[in-house]
Structure 1
Amino acid sequence: MAETAKDYLRDPYILDFLNLQDKTYQESQLEQAIISNLQQFLLELGKGFAFVERQQRIRFDDEDFYIDLVFYNFKLKCFLLVDLKLGKLRHQDIGQMDTYVRLYDEQRRGSDDNPTIGLVLCSEKSEAVVKYSVLAEQKQLFAAKYLPYLPSEDELKRELERERAQAVEQLQQQALGNE
């Protein structure tokens, strides 16, 4: 069975090693904390990832875009673009990442590379945005929540129950679709 990008990405990511327990940090501080703790972030990101660049500029016509973090996965043979977001995931965030991925594939992807993956890493994930945006059909765009601290046992239980309910709902929808 071929491995997919989804096999390599997590949700949520536990970023307690960044020591961002104060809720008043900015995206730039989150990015700097990740860079300062790059080894731990790579371990949290998962297997096969290597750091490429931060604030990488890509250009389209007369407009510059800056990608927060760029990684390469040697197992998947593709780039991973990470956009860091504070607060709830919005449709605009997905559209922005979709643009980044398309531009990156056109301008930077090598002929032997697989399609670029885009990951919007946000502090609050919106299930409605995930369900009713291009994330639902895209195999290269993802959104994941990050937690600035290790959750309590009660929080973990609630998260597991929520994930279980979503999995049951997906299975029921698949069963209805197969009838």
Structure 2
Amino acid sequence: MSDIINYKNAVDIIKTAILQSQYRAAKAVNKEQLALYYSIGKFVSENSREGTWGTGAIETISQTLQKELPGLRGFSASNIKNMRQFYEQWSILTNRQPAAVEIQSPENKDVINTTQLLDINRQPMAGDLDLMDFFALGFTLHMEILAKTKTLEERVFYIHECAAMSWDKYELRDMLKADLFHHQAQMPNNFLKTLPKKQQALRAIEMFKDEYLLDYINVEELGVRDSKDIDERVIENSIVQNIKNFIMTFGKSFTYHGHQVHYDKMGHDHWIDLLFFNRELRSLVVVELKKGAFKPAYLAQLSLYLRILDDDERLPGENPSVGIILCRDADKAYVEYVLQDYNKPMGVATYKVTQDRLRELLPSEEEMKRLLVANDRDNDNIDDENKVD
């Protein structure tokens, strides 16, 4: 039996070494590819933007490249244009070099220098952008970020989170869709007051958002006329069926422990909606679902659950349990006011479902009426003109 344990330990050590090596190799490949694409983007930008090339030049170049290099991938016309965009958006990397650092470039403009991006030897934006994070991402991930963000701060944020959390393309899209950047560290909470370590409190504040998009809950499929009428248990069941998606809205450090977890305390039954464990916080995390707006009574209920978990489930070395109320609406200022009297770490976030997002995209009832009146007026004018004719 001891031999099996030793072999298992050996396998884990070797597997870790392999994965680390693969990760370093992938980063090296990313770095070379990004340097190549950046340089090609610069070359294409200088010639296409300044009018050196005629219309359709990029399409012709792409087709010719693929004929002369059969099997070549990644050089379609649209991807070459992406390389141009990549250069134009990130030329700030080389333009912010100090005077003492001279980037060597060929005298001949028609020669592509593929080392320009690699020659950067310091963080060019006063620590805002970590170059290790930058080069850890592949070109596809970079283009996802460039296409769906507007500011440098947003891009730096998603680059760092993507590298730190090892998101793939689909996970990154989910985070961009949920607008993680604008919802980070906005959730009303009492973590700084109630968690024993400041670093842990700051991590918890950073980890949770003030709003979550549960777009995998389809109101129409549930047979509910109005998304506000969804029962809490229906939402919970939908989350459980899509637990991987739900965990990804929080982060990869969460482990699912169960739903409707039962505790008998002094002859009284208690049922926790959703229970997780977070490895970074080293804490059990309770998520309580509420179908309506926030009520102060929800915090009292959650505080009791956290007390029970700390008494009955918390292991030596683990931090205090953390609780999140997830409801439809919440007045942040009011929530923060009510939270002051609680000594258990808690926060209150809101959620949206698919139908809510559709409502945001559609005109309001008043706007629809205004448009209909304007349309009727235009039709009447057209009829009057036809009568004149």
TM-score bracket relative to the smaller structure: 0.7 to 0.9
The equivalent residue for 1:50 is 255
TM-aligned CA deviation for residue 127 of structure 1: 2.8
TM-aligned CA deviation for residue 53 of structure 1: 0.8
In structure 2, C-alpha distance between the alignment counterparts of 1:78 and 1:20, rounded to whole Å: 33
Structure-to-structure mapping, 1:58-137, within 5 angstroms: 58-134=263-339
Structure-to-structure mapping, 1:151-170, within 5 angstroms: 151=357, 152=360
Q: Does 1:12 align with 2:12?
A: no
Do the aligned partners of residues 14 and 31 (structure 1) sit closer, same or farther apart at CA in structure 2, a change above 3 Å counting? same
In structure 2, C-alpha distance between the alignment counterparts of 1:139 and 1:67, rounded to whole Å: 16
TM-aligned CA deviation for residue 114 of structure 1: 0.7
Do the aligned partners of residues 44 and 20 (structure 1) sit closer, same or farther apart at CA in structure 2, a change above 3 Å counting? farther
Q: Aligned-pair RMSD on alpha carbons?
A: 2.2
Which secondary structure does the structure 2 equivalent of 1:145 belong to? strand
The amino acid of 1:78's aligned partner reads S
TM-aligned CA deviation for residue 17 of structure 1: 1.6
Residue by residue, what CA displacement relative to the aligned partner does 1:14-70 show, whole Å, maximum 9, x if unpaired? 111222364122111000000011111111122311100111112221101000000
In structure 2, C-alpha distance between the alignment counterparts of 1:129 and 1:60, rounded to whole Å: 31
TM-score w.r.t. length of structure 1: 0.78
Could you tell me which of 194, 199, 204 is aligned with 1:2? 199
TM-aligned CA deviation for residue 105 of structure 1: 0.6
Contact 2:324 2:347 in 1 (8 A): yes
TM-aligned CA deviation for residue 132 of structure 1: 2.3
The equivalent residue for 1:162 is none
TM-aligned CA deviation for residue 135 of structure 1: 5.3
Q: What are the ranges of 5 or more consecutive residues in structure 1 without an aligned counterpart? A: 155-179
Query: Which moves more between the two structures, 18-27 or 109-118?
Result: 18-27
TM-score w.r.t. length of structure 2: 0.37
Which secondary structure does the structure 2 equivalent of 1:67 belong to? strand
Which secondary structure does the structure 2 equivalent of 1:132 belong to? helix
Contact 2:215 2:352 in 1 (8 A): yes
Percent sequence identity over aligned pairs = 28
The amino acid of 2:258's aligned partner reads E
Contact 1:71 1:79 in 2 (8 A): yes
TM-aligned CA deviation for residue 139 of structure 1: 6.7
Contact 2:286 2:324 in 1 (8 A): yes
Could you tell me which of 140, 147, 159 is aligned with 2:352? 147
TM-aligned CA deviation for residue 146 of structure 1: 0.6
Contact 2:303 2:344 in 1 (8 A): no
The amino acid of 1:101's aligned partner reads L
Q: Which has the larger radius of gyration?
A: 2
Q: Does 1:39 align with 2:244?
A: yes
Larger strand proportion, structure 1 or 2?
A: 1
TM-aligned CA deviation for residue 128 of structure 1: 5.0
TM-aligned CA deviation for residue 83 of structure 1: 0.5
Contact 1:89 1:129 in 2 (8 A): no
Residue by residue, what CA displacement relative to the aligned partner does 1:134-172 show, whole Å, maximum 9, x if unpaired? 257657101100111374479xxxxxxxxxxxxxxxxxx
The amino acid of 2:210's aligned partner reads D
Query: Which moves more between the two structures, 72-81 or 145-154?
Result: 145-154
Q: What are the ranges of 5 or more consecutive residues in structure 2 without an aligned counterpart? A: 1-197, 221-225, 363-389
Which secondary structure does the structure 2 equivalent of 1:109 belong to? coil
The equivalent residue for 1:166 is none
